[in-house]
Every structure is written in C-alpha cells, then in structure tokens.
C-alpha cells in the first residue's frame, strides 16, 4: 500500500468513525428529546464530547497528513505508519470514552498528539531542507 493509499484509507475510516458518532448523538437526542446541549443527560454529554473531540483531532491529522503527501521528500513509510497509528489511536480513544476507561483514553490521546507533532515536525524538516 502506498503512503497516499494509507493516508486516504485512514481518512475514510476516520470519517466513518465520526459519522457513526454523529448518528449516536442524534439517536440520543431523539431518545432524550433534546435539540441543543445535553439537558443534563450524561450519556448525551459524553457522546457530544466524543464526537467533537474526534472531529478536532481528525481534522488536524488530515491536514497534516495531506500536507506531507504534497512534499516529495517525506518518507512514505513513516507517513504510512503515522496514518495507521493515528487511526488505531482514535478507535481506541472512542472505545475508551464510551467504556469509561480513563487511562486508555489518555494513552490514546497522547498517541494522537504525538502523531500530530511528528507530522508537523516532518513538514517543517522537509520545507527547511
């Protein structure tokens, strides 16, 4: 699999994850009859925050990863690894939020952040050389 295929596959999988989270939020809104906010329903609050966090993290990853693809000097193997690690981290993060496993959620968030930093530094390194 090329790095372009790995990145685009990763973004597609993350889009499906975010879409699933959106459907879950909508389902809870219907169940609790809440249009805005969470109306004090903890399950809805958790679902909304999980969805928002996934969007925030995935957007940054997508921009960084696609930027790396545009630079010919970025090693494809490291970009493929970053895409795989980030996707796995976000899947683990989502599962950890809904199963209320704080330490797993924190580890997944740290991994996501590390991938962001690696990609950002990779871009800077490629541009500055």
Residue 80 clears pLDDT 90, i.e. is over it? yes
Please count the residues of the chain: 129
pLDDT for the residue 129? 84
Number of domains into which the chain is organized? 1
Other Cβ atoms closer than 10 A to 125: 12
The CA distance from 107 to 100, in Å, is: 13
Note down the domain range covering 26: 3-128
User: What CATH number does residue 60 fall under?
Assistant: 1.20.120.550
Are 11 and 62 contacting, i.e. CB atoms less than 8 angstroms apart? yes
Mean pLDDT calculated for residue range 14-22: 97
Query: What pTM did the predictor assign?
Result: 0.91
- Taking only the tens place, the pLDDT of each residue in 82-116 is 999 999 999 999 999 989 999 999 999 999 999 99
- Taking only the tens place, the pLDDT of each residue in 32-77 is 999 888 888 999 999 999 999 999 999 999 999 999 999 988 888 9
């Amino acid at each position: 699999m090329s790095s372009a295929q790995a990145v685009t596959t990763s973004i597609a999988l993350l889009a499906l994850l975010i879409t699933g989270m959106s459907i879950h939020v909508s389902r809870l809104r219907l169940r609790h009859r809440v249009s805005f906010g969470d109306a004090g329903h903890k399950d809805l609050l958790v679902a909304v925050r999980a969805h928002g966090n996934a969007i925030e993290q995935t957007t940054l990853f997508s921009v960084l990863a696609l930027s790396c693809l545009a630079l010919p000097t970025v090693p494809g193997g490291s970009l493929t690894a970053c895409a795989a690690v980030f996707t796995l981290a976000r899947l683990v993060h989502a599962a950890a939020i809904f199963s209320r496993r704080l330490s797993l959620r924190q580890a997944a968030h740290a991994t996501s952040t590390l991938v962001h930093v690696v990609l950002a530094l990779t871009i800077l390194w490629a541009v500055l050389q």
